[in-house]
Chains A and B, each alone.
Chain A
Amino acid sequence: MAKLNMVQAINLALREEMARDDRVVVMGEDVGRDGGVFRVTEGLREHFGAERVIDTPLSESGIVGAATGMAAYGLRPVAEIQFMGFIYSALDQLSAHGARLRTRSRGRYTCPLVVRTPYGAGIKAPELHEESSEAIFCHIPGIKVVAPSGPYTAKGLMLAALRDPDPVLYLEPTRLYRLIREEVPEGEYLTELGRARLARTGDNVTVIAWGSMLERVLKAVEPYSADVIDLLTLSPFDAETVLASVRKTGRAVIVHEAIKTCGLGAEIAATIAEDAILHLRAPVLRVTAPDVPVPLGKLIDHYLPTAEQIRAALDEVLQY
């Protein structure tokens, strides 16, 4: 079995699915000739042709809007938004249309669309190239939001997203693109949407993370006896797995690189409060970025949650 990085794993998923299903087409800025700015779509145009790997004008709303029309017509487009910081002009298309087309048309038209976008900080890129605004999209019913934490889950989640009958926002943690290599099997395996993964098991505390933060969490918790939940699907998130673990450990720490206020951690903490508060021995803590715009590279290490901050939160809840 080949050891692949995340870029290669996503590429493999796209390649396999395009070979299997001629409804799958890839579109976006620089995805064809250039193979994508991170090379995720490298070689696809040579293999499948310009008709299926479409270089579009610089047009985020147009890309997602056109992909919505293609999906409604019966194709399965994969639209790339080059960086998450540029997705906001397509937010209208996703929230007003992609997410609502099935409802509005009473099921006559659907939107099986995957929007891929690199997200997250730590790659020394310019402003708006390091955003982590997943919570905005988790607040839109009708869209699923997923974030792989490594090459293996990246392929499985991509295949599952491509088979899903509704729009899926697929967040690719840029910091991990080439950081981790894992064994990634060829051929079909689907990482079920809506299902979290227990990345590590322990007894005293539950740590919940996803995407770019999982790797940091796993390093930070090494000396602790902790359940680490890799959320994988951020919306709808797997409350069942979270609650089962919290009922066991009695303590929860949520780690995300997005800002704190109205972040996905707030939703998870509220769910724990609603359904498992009597099992808690300590307050639920969140380790997050501060409530400021994502800073440029020189300050990014002060912005992103660190292993020390994660350990400090664990120590705090373990005092109870």
Chain B
Amino acid sequence: MPNEVIAEFKVTRMSILDENGIADVALMPELSHEEIRKMYELMLLARAFDQRALALQREGRLGTYPPIMGQEAAQVGSAMAIKPADWVFPSFRETGVHLSLGYPIAQIFQYWSGDERGQLTPDNLNIFPFCVSVGTHIPHAVGAAMAARYRRDPIAVVAYFGDGATSKGDFHEGFNMAGVFRLPVVFICQNNQWAISIPVKEQTAAASLAQKAVAYGFEGIQVDGNDVFAVYCATRNALEKARGNGGPTFIECLTYRVADHTTADDAGRYRSSEEVAAWRARDPILRLERFMAAQGFWSEDYGREARSRASASMDEAVHEMEGFPPPAAADMFEHACASLSPRQTRQQEGL
């Protein structure tokens, strides 16, 4: 008796805006020029944050920082589809998401300056703290989605992580539970192709990361992560599906980490400058500029002004951050637990 085929699958990649800035009109999401300008300006803001953070770190005014350069479309495009009531579980390389959702810029600098007070999410946002431990926040997003469903809250949950996280156990455990319980959660992987020095080919033998979703019983899709329209579309669709009780979705944004892993890393040790140059040419901001110019709503002047506004926002935020008084020593006890033990109290008093 011949073996029966019990499962077959295919994985698709979505792209709307090509490297030359030409969009597929049929697939183009309904976005006003104003909304597209907002996307563009947020991407510039994210780029400006990165550049400023790198400069500050070199001057000793900031601690170790993980740049997002090259991933602006994946971050801004997805975040633009998120509603304020949704819950967001970021990794540690999501500055563009934070900026898009309106997280105070000075606080992001503050966190990377080594001051945990930067992690206090404003009350109008539901962003979890940065997760430095790779992929371990995926089950938290799953639990929040379980709780949201239990409460009958009409929201969705989004978890962000990188290609390295897909090798972790918590990726499996979280995805598996999301599939079993058919939860309102969207998993967004920014496959930037490098987990420090390990290329994605050494991270997995699978042809795509998106296809991993198939094994958990839900949809996985790859999108061109440097195409802000495709990322936005895929995220919006997945969030609508989640809110409509259609279950989880895994979106793999194929992008590239143009900069080093962090300011403590030297990517020149493990990858070629040709590879980096090829990806710089696929810059997501440049691509959107080309599109906007062809559509008649981008000019050199506008681009210059927008960059200068982004830079001014950084000046203001850095000024604000450097004006924050340093935390008092006793501050490390402040949120250690709801009420301190007698020993902790003595330790705090003894500082």
- Interface set of A (CB-CB < 8 Å, partner B): 25, 51-52, 54, 56-57, 59, 61-62, 64-75, 77, 89, 92-93, 96-97, 101-110, 141-142, 164-166, 194, 236, 239-240
Q: How distant is A86 from chain B, measured CB to nearest CB, in Å?
A: 13
Are A66 and B142 CB-contacts (below 8 A) given A61-B169, A89-B169, A106-B120?
Answer: yes
Known: A59-B176, A66-B139, A72-B144. 4 other contacts (CB 8 A): A65-B142, A66-B146, A93-B139, A102-B335
Q: How distant is B342 from chain A, measured CB to nearest CB, in Å?
A: 7
B174: chain A residues at CB < 8 Å are 62, 65-66
Q: How far is the CA of A64 from the CA of B341 in the complex (A)?
A: 24
Are A106 and B116 CB-contacts (below 8 A) given A69-B147, A141-B336?
Answer: yes
Main secondary structure of the interface of B (DSSP, over half): helix
Q: Are the C-beta atoms of B128 and A105 separated by less than 8 Å?
A: yes
Q: Are the C-beta atoms of A61 and B150 separated by less than 8 Å?
A: no
Q: How far is the CA of A109 from the CA of B147 in the complex (A)?
A: 14
Q: Are the C-beta atoms of A109 and B133 separated by less than 8 Å?
A: no
Pick from B119, B144, B177, B336: contact of A56, CB under 8 Å: B177
List 6 A–B pairs whose Cβ atoms lie within 8 Å, in order of A's numbering.
Answer: A25-B150, A103-B336, A107-B334, A108-B120, A110-B338, A240-B342
Q: Which residue of A lies closest to B142 (CB)?
A: A66
B151 CB within 8 Å of chain A: yes
Q: Which of B152-187 contact A (CB under 8 A)?
A: 169-170, 173-174, 176-177, 180
B13: chain A residues at CB < 8 Å are none
A-B interface, 6 closest residue pairs, ranked by CB to CB distance from nearest: A65-B139, A69-B143, A62-B173, A66-B143, A236-B341, A73-B147
B129 CB within 8 Å of chain A: yes
Q: Are the C-beta atoms of A69 and B139 separated by less than 8 Å?
A: yes
Q: Are the C-beta atoms of B117 and A106 separated by less than 8 Å?
A: yes
B133: chain A residues at CB < 8 Å are 92, 96-97
Pick from A54, A62, A108, A166: contact of B139, CB under 8 Å: A62
Q: Are the C-beta atoms of A57 and B129 separated by less than 8 Å?
A: no
Render B114-141 as a binary contact track against A, CB cut-off 8 A, 1 for contact: 0011011100000011000100111111
Q: Which of B90-134 contact A (CB under 8 A)?
A: 116-117, 119-121, 128-129, 133
Q: How far is the CA of A72 from the CA of B121 in the complex (A)?
A: 13
Q: Which residue of B lies closest to A66 (CB)?
A: B143
Q: How far is the CA of A164 from the CA of B177 in the complex (A)?
A: 27
B170: chain A residues at CB < 8 Å are 61-62, 65, 92-93
Q: Are the C-beta atoms of A70 and B337 separated by less than 8 Å?
A: no
Q: Are the C-beta atoms of B136 and A97 separated by less than 8 Å?
A: yes
Are A102 and B119 CB-contacts (below 8 A) given A70-B144, A96-B136, A109-B129?
Answer: no
Are A51 and B129 CB-contacts (below 8 A) given A62-B139, A72-B144?
Answer: no
Q: Which residue of A lies closest to B133 (CB)?
A: A96
Q: How far is the CA of A57 from the CA of B176 in the complex (A)?
A: 8
Q: Which residue of A lies closest to B177 (CB)?
A: A62
Q: How far is the CA of A77 from the CA of B140 in the complex (A)?
A: 13
Q: How distant is B9 from chain A, measured CB to nearest CB, in Å?
A: 21
A54: chain B residues at CB < 8 Å are 146
Pick from A105, A141, A194: contact of B121, CB under 8 Å: A105
Q: Are the C-beta atoms of B129 and A104 separated by less than 8 Å?
A: yes
Q: How distant is A55 from chain B, measured CB to nearest CB, in Å?
A: 10
Are A102 and B337 CB-contacts (below 8 A) given A62-B177, A65-B136?
Answer: yes
Q: How distant is A103 from chain B, measured CB to nearest CB, in Å?
A: 5
Render B197-213 as a binary contact track against A, CB cut-off 8 A, 1 for contact: 00000000000000000
Q: Are the C-beta atoms of B129 and A239 separated by less than 8 Å?
A: no
Q: How far is the CA of A73 from the CA of B86 in the complex (A)?
A: 11
Q: Are the C-beta atoms of B143 and A166 separated by less than 8 Å?
A: no
Are A166 and B177 CB-contacts (below 8 A) given A70-B146, A106-B116?
Answer: no
Q: How far is the CA of A108 from the CA of B133 in the complex (A)?
A: 20
Q: Which residue of A lies closest to B148 (CB)?
A: A73
Q: Which of B324-342 contact A (CB under 8 A)?
A: 334-338, 341-342
B343 CB within 8 Å of chain A: yes
Are A57 and B177 CB-contacts (below 8 A) given A65-B140, A93-B136?
Answer: yes
Are A166 and B338 CB-contacts (below 8 A) given A59-B177, A104-B116, A239-B343?
Answer: yes
A164: chain B residues at CB < 8 Å are 338
Q: How distant is A293 from chain B, measured CB to nearest CB, in Å?
A: 23
Pick from B129, B145, B148, B173: contact of A65, CB under 8 Å: B173
Q: Are the C-beta atoms of B150 and A75 separated by less than 8 Å?
A: yes
Q: How far is the CA of A102 from the CA of B117 in the complex (A)?
A: 12
A69: chain B residues at CB < 8 Å are 89, 139-147
A73: chain B residues at CB < 8 Å are 87, 143-144, 147-148, 151
Are A106 and B144 CB-contacts (below 8 A) given A62-B170, A89-B169, A239-B343?
Answer: no
Render B308-351 as a binary contact track against A, CB cut-off 8 A, 1 for contact: 00000000000000000000000000111110011110000000
Q: How distant is B23 from chain A, measured CB to nearest CB, in Å?
A: 37
Q: Are the C-beta atoms of A62 and B129 separated by less than 8 Å?
A: no
B151: chain A residues at CB < 8 Å are 73-74
Pick from B120, B141, B145, B337: contact of A166, CB under 8 Å: B337
Q: How distant is B184 from chain A, measured CB to nearest CB, in Å?
A: 12
A92: chain B residues at CB < 8 Å are 133, 136, 170
A59: chain B residues at CB < 8 Å are 173, 176-177
Q: Which residue of B lies closest to A143 (CB)?
A: B337
Pick from B119, B140, B336, B337: contact of A68, CB under 8 Å: B140
Q: Are the C-beta atoms of A66 and B140 separated by less than 8 Å?
A: yes
Q: Which residue of A lies closest to B176 (CB)?
A: A57
Q: How far is the CA of A192 from the CA of B135 in the complex (A)?
A: 36
B128: chain A residues at CB < 8 Å are 72, 105, 109
B120: chain A residues at CB < 8 Å are 105-108
B119: chain A residues at CB < 8 Å are 104-106
A101: chain B residues at CB < 8 Å are 129
Q: How far is the CA of A92 from the CA of B116 in the complex (A)?
A: 21
Q: How far is the CA of A140 from the CA of B129 in the complex (A)?
A: 20
Q: Which residue of A lies closest to B174 (CB)?
A: A62
Q: Are the C-beta atoms of B147 and A102 separated by less than 8 Å?
A: no
Q: Are the C-beta atoms of B336 and A142 separated by less than 8 Å?
A: yes
B87: chain A residues at CB < 8 Å are 73
Q: How far is the CA of A75 from the CA of B140 in the complex (A)?
A: 13
